[in-house]
RNA sequence: UGGGGUAUCGCCAAGCGGUAAGGCACUAGUUUUUGGUACUGGUAUUCGGGGGUUCGAAUCCCUCUACCCCAUCCA
């Protein structure tokens, strides 16, 4: 955990500290209707991570309230994902379906309270009655059935006496609620469907909004963490628990932004389309952002965990760059994985002046990876290098083999090109080269400097392997559908050549193919006869090696002009107030705010009765009082207009600074105390005496020599820093004007 | 259009009235038998825009703008 906490942990910590809960319990509650993807991984990391961090528990719960979509194969995949990521759920896996009897009882309780009713309108009519975002809805005519009737109907629903869709159970909330979700939400629907766990026991199934909050409550969950799109559902969540009287300790819902990654899709629907449309090879296709896909591609659980940790948790919709994910896996594998040599695009090189053969000892790990292990590399006259490592007409800055430029065969000798053999089409098919016998790695006395050391394999002992090279699945950053697919997302190389030790010794399943990237022995298709490797991710490439893709020119961004919308005109009354206030000396902005807000202007005028200091009163009213009045009515305030006037009086008389006034205001707002008493009891009278302030300033200056330097070098912002420090030393009581002057003088 | 959210560097993201954290990406240099790694630097005079309050505002107030979510018997 980094030192800066995310907002969820901040909430959890506060709740623990305040004693709201003794212990934190979270849950990861997927619906088992599809394969988990990296978005689930984020949720898993959050829920299990928080539970771990605060010594709590996290449940794994299958939210299986819709029997027509769910299947046990998905619960297996979900369990696998959590396990693979290294988390342990508390006790056994939970199922919402296990709570069906309890949830049913709660429904009956609601009916008995007159808070739920059986509605028999059909789907279409119900939609119409629901209204629109701007128009209130209308209650169904069935809403006033008696409790007995509702109970009887609901019982029959449960017993399967009706067909699907004939009736539903609804909460009786408010058909004109601004929040559409609160317009008498459905609690139960009839579904004559086989449930993969509950079998055919139930003819009715609870809706998400009813089942989820109750399941959380039943499990003793404290923090019900979900994604942003459930924000509107929070009201129902609270309504159900509150109405049923399910009080403390009870769960509260908190929402975070779901994960988006560019160049891929994350929705179950789109993923399903790709799988069913055959654009990819199943749910574990290595190009997919599914857990199964990453696993098969060769990603480590640690890298996914680190990724989730690195992207943070917040409430802003965001799209994370794949580069961040790629960094995570490179960073992880770099420390762990043996390096071997593989030639993806073999080009034959015959070393004309070399005879015989030898074996060269080569470490599996570079000098900066503290791991042991090595293998023998066969070397002989005929070898293969990668086609990309030779250029007949090299671009500027090319480091590898050219007709003019020698190169080192990694761990072996330096060679230079003598002759290029081409086929009838002009394609290079072979290089005749010469080696420098005294240039062998470790015993090089040739004195030749080369710019690069390249990978190679010896021709007779190299093994042929299949390599699957993956590129991003989509060619656009925010793909919509199949039309955005990258046609080259999979490249199969059938005849790559690899050094024999990899196949014979099998020192690992993940490798770095030197200078190429990280690769993974495909867990499904790999056989001894046909070894298959998946490319996990390429090595980071810098500067000239990837020059092919020139950077798009820096956008000549015109300073964006933002057009202001139209402000609603003032009414006649408001205009009159506005005029009156400006005449009192208020600036137009303040007068405007006051005039347009009846509560504020009322409060302002009342304060004015106590003290005739319109400007200062207006300022505190339009700022601090306004903040409180946003969510409260005047009579709910702990302080009175008279008290505000008294507060202003002290500011007017320079008894306290405006900074202290804010502090006093907070106090008044909290407990309704009298401002003068607060100032007296806390000794908040302003300090303006230089004799007191000056020593403080000198002390601060002495303690911060570096900042003094920076200030003198021209960083004038630091004045604020010093003022802040001095003010802190006076516990806010210093007269800021005086402090400012004195600090400025001392510093110069 | 009513309601609920969100806006800080190319991408994430801290920050909660007193010096604009950090990571990715980018970039320059050092080391390097991987154009990798590691290391050392450079990258926001400014926080969606405009006003206001304050000695001092990314943080408080007003206002405008943009984007996301909500009218499934899905979750």
For residue range A97-138, list pLDDT tens digits in order.
Answer: 999 999 999 999 999 999 999 999 999 999 999 999 999 999
Give A647-659 as a DSSP string.
HHHHHHTTSS-HH
pTM for the model stands at 0.95
φ/ψ (deg, to 5) at A143? -65, -20
Residue A258 known to be catalytic? yes
Check whether residue A165 has its CB closer than 7 Å to nucleic acid strand B.
yes
Check whether residue A386 has its CB closer than 7 Å to nucleic acid strand B.
no
Contact A28, A48 (CB under 8 A): yes
Nucleic strand B contacts from chain A, 502-561, CB < 7 Å: 512, 514-515, 539-545, 551, 560
Residue A320 DSSP SS3: strand
Catalytic residue among A9, A31, A70, A287: A31
Contact A46, A256 (CB under 8 A): yes
Residue A287 known to be catalytic? no
Check whether residue A316 has its CB closer than 7 Å to nucleic acid strand B.
yes
φ/ψ (deg, to 5) at A468? -105, 115
At which residue do the structure tokens 């480091």 appear?
A: A399
φ/ψ (deg, to 5) at A161? -85, -5
Check whether residue A254 has its CB closer than 7 Å to nucleic acid strand B.
no
**What mean pLDDT do residues A63-86 have?**
98
Residue A472 known to be catalytic? no
Contact A293, A40 (CB under 8 A): no
Please write the tens of the pLDDT for every residue from A5-60. 999 999 999 999 999 999 999 999 999 999 999 999 999 999 999 999 999 999 99
Mean pLDDT of chain A: 94
Any idea which nucleotide's C1' is nearest the CA of A441?
Answer: B33
**Is A569 exposed, middle or buried (CB count within 10 Å of its CB: 0-12, 13-18, 19+)?**
exposed
Contact A422, A429 (CB under 8 A): yes
Check whether residue A482 has its CB closer than 7 Å to nucleic acid strand B.
no
What is the distance between the alpha carbons of residues A110 and A117, in angstroms, rounded to a whole number? 9
> Residue by residue, what is the 3-state secondary structure of A208-235?
HHHHHHHHHHHHCCCEEEEEHHHHHHHH
pLDDT for A548: 40
Q: Tokens for A181?
A: 């979700």
What is the distance between the alpha carbons of residues A342 and A683, in angstroms, rounded to a whole number? 77
How many contiguous H segments (helices) and E segments (strands) does chain A have?
Answer: 25, 25
Distance A719 CA to B57 C1' (A): 15
What is the distance between the alpha carbons of residues A85 and A309, in angstroms, rounded to a whole number? 13
φ/ψ (deg, to 5) at A300? -95, 155
pLDDT for A545: 52
What is the distance between the alpha carbons of residues A532 and A509, in angstroms, rounded to a whole number? 11
Q: Which of A502, A576, A567 is nearest to A532 (CA)?
A: A502
- Domains of chain A, first to last: 7-98+215-326 (3.40.50.620), 114-208 (3.90.800.10), 690-747 (1.10.10.410)
Between residues A644 and A546, which one has the greater pLDDT? A644
For nucleotide B15, the protein residue with its alpha carbon nearest to C1' is: A4
Please write the tens of the pLDDT for every residue from A430-461. 999 999 999 999 999 999 999 999 999 999 99
Any idea which nucleotide's C1' is nearest the CA of A324?
Answer: B24
Q: Look up residue A453 and give its DSSP letter.
A: E
Q: Which of A243, A211, A252, A244 is nearest to A101 (CA)?
A: A211
Cross-sheet strand order for the sheet of A382-386? A453-454, A407-409, A414-422, A428-435, A346-351, A382-386, A456-458
**What mean pLDDT do residues A210-218 have?**
98
At which residue do the structure tokens 């199949």 appear?
A: A482
Nucleic strand B contacts from chain A, 48-107, CB < 7 Å: 63, 65-66, 69
Nucleic strand B contacts from chain A, 193-222, CB < 7 Å: 205, 207-209, 212
Any idea which nucleotide's C1' is nearest the CA of A562?
Answer: B49
Check whether residue A327 has its CB closer than 7 Å to nucleic acid strand B.
yes
pLDDT for A557: 42
Any idea which nucleotide's C1' is nearest the CA of A134?
Answer: B2
Check whether residue A616 has its CB closer than 7 Å to nucleic acid strand B.
yes
What CA dihedral angle connects A574, A576, A579 and A580, to 10 degrees?
Answer: -110
pLDDT band at residue A550 using 50, 70 and 90 as cut-offs: very low
Please write the tens of the pLDDT for every residue from A183-196. 999 999 999 999 99
At which residue do the structure tokens 């961040």 appear?
A: A324
Give strand B nucleotides closer than 7 A to any protein Cβ. Answer: 1-8, 10-28, 32-38, 45-46, 48-57, 60-75
Distance A260 CA to B13 C1' (A): 15
**What mean pLDDT do residues A326-354 have?**
98
Any idea which nucleotide's C1' is nearest the CA of A208?
Answer: B75
**Is A122 exposed, middle or buried (CB count within 10 Å of its CB: 0-12, 13-18, 19+)?**
exposed
């Amino acid at each position: 955990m980094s030192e800066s906490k995310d907002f969820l942990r901040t909430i959890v910590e506060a709740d623990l500290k305040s004693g709201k809960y003794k212990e934190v319990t979270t849950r990861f509650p997927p619906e088992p209707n599809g394969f988990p993807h990296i978005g689930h991984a984020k949720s898993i990391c959050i829920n299990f991570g928080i539970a771990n961090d605060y010594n709590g528990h996290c449940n794994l719960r299958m939210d299986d309230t819709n029997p027509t979509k769910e299947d046990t194969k998905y619960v297996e995949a979900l369990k696998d994902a959590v396990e693979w990521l290294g988390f342990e759920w508390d006790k056994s896996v939970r199922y919402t379906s296990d709570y069906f009897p309890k949830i049913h009882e709660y429904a009956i309780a609601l009916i008995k309270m007159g808070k739920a009713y059986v509605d028999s309108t059909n789907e279409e009519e119900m939609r119409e009655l629901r209204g629109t975002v701007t128009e209130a809805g209308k209650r169904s005519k069935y809403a006033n059935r008696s409790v007995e009737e509702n109970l009887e109907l609901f019982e029959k629903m449960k017993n399967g006496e009706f067909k699907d869709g004939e009736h539903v159970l609804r909460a009786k909330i408010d058909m004109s609620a601004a929040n559409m979700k609160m317009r008498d939400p459905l609690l139960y629907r009839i579904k004559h469907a086989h449930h993969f766990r509950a079998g055919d026991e139930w003819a009715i199934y609870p809706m998400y909004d009813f089942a989820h909050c109750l399941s959380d409550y039943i499990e003793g969950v404290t923090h019900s963490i979900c994604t942003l799109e459930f924000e509107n559902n929070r009201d129902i969540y609270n309504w159900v628990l509150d109405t049923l009287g399910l009080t403390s300790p009870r769960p509260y819902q908190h929402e975070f932004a779901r994960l988006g990654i560019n160049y891929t899709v994350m929705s179950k629907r789109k993923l399903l389309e790709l799988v069913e449309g055959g654009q990819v090879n199943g749910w574990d296709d290595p190009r997919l952002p599914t857990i199964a896909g990453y696993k098969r591609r060769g990603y480590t659980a640690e890298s996914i965990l680190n990724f989730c940790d690195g992207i943070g948790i917040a409430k802003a919709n965001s799209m994370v760059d794949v580069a961040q994910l790629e960094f995570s896996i490179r960073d992880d594998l770099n420390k762990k994985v043996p390096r071997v040599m593989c030639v993806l695009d073999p080009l034959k090189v015959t070393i004309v002046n070399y005879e015989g053969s030898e074996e060269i000892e080569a470490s599996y790990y570079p000098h900066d990876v503290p791991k042991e292990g090595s293998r023998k590399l066969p070397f002989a006259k005929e070898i293969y290098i990668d086609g990309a490592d030779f250029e007949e007409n090299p671009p500027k800055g090319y480091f590898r083999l050219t007709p003019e430029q020698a190169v080192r065969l990694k761990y072996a000798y330096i060679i230079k090109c003598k002759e290029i053999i081409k086929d009838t089409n002009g394609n290079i098919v072979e290089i005749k080269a010469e080696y420098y016998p005294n240039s062998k790695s470790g015993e090089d006395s040739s004195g030749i400097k080369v710019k690069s050391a390249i990978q190679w394999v010896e021709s007779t002992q190299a093994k042929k392997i299949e390599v699957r090279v993956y590129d991003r699945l989509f060619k656009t950053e925010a793909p919509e559908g199949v039309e955005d697919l990258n046609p080259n997302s999979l490249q199969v190389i059938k005849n790559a050549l690899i050094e024999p030790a990899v196949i014979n010794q099998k020192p690992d399943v993940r490798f770095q193919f030197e200078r190429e990237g990280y690769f993974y022995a495909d867990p499904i298709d790999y056989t001894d006869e046909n070894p298959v490797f998946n490319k996990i991710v390429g090595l980071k490439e810098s500067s000239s090696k990837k020059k092919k893709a020139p950077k798009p020119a820096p956008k000549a961004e015109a300073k964006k002009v933002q057009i202001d919308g139209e402000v609603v005109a003032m009414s006649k009354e408001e205009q009159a107030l506005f005029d009156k206030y400006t005449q009192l000396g208020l600036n137009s902005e303040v007068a405007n705010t006051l005039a347009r807000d009846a509560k504020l202007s009322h409060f302002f005028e009342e304060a004015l009765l106590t003290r005739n200091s319109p400007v200062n009163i207006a300022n505190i009213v339009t700022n601090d009082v306004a903040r409180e009045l946003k969510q409260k009515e005047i009579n709910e305030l702990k302080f009175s207009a008279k008290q505000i006037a008294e507060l202003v009086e002290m500011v007017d008389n320079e008894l306290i600074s405006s900074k202290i006034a804010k502090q006093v205001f907070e106090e008044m707002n909290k407990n309704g105390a009298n401002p003068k008493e607060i100032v007296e009891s806390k000794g908040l009278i302003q300090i303006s005496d230089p004799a007191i302030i000056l020593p403080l300033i000198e002390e601060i200056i002495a303690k911060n020599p570096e900042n003094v330097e920076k200030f003198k070098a021209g960083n004038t912002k630091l004045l604020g820093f010093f003022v802040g420090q001095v003010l802190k030393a006076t516990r806010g009581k210093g007269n800021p004007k005086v402090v400012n002057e004195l600090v400025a003088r001392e510093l110069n």
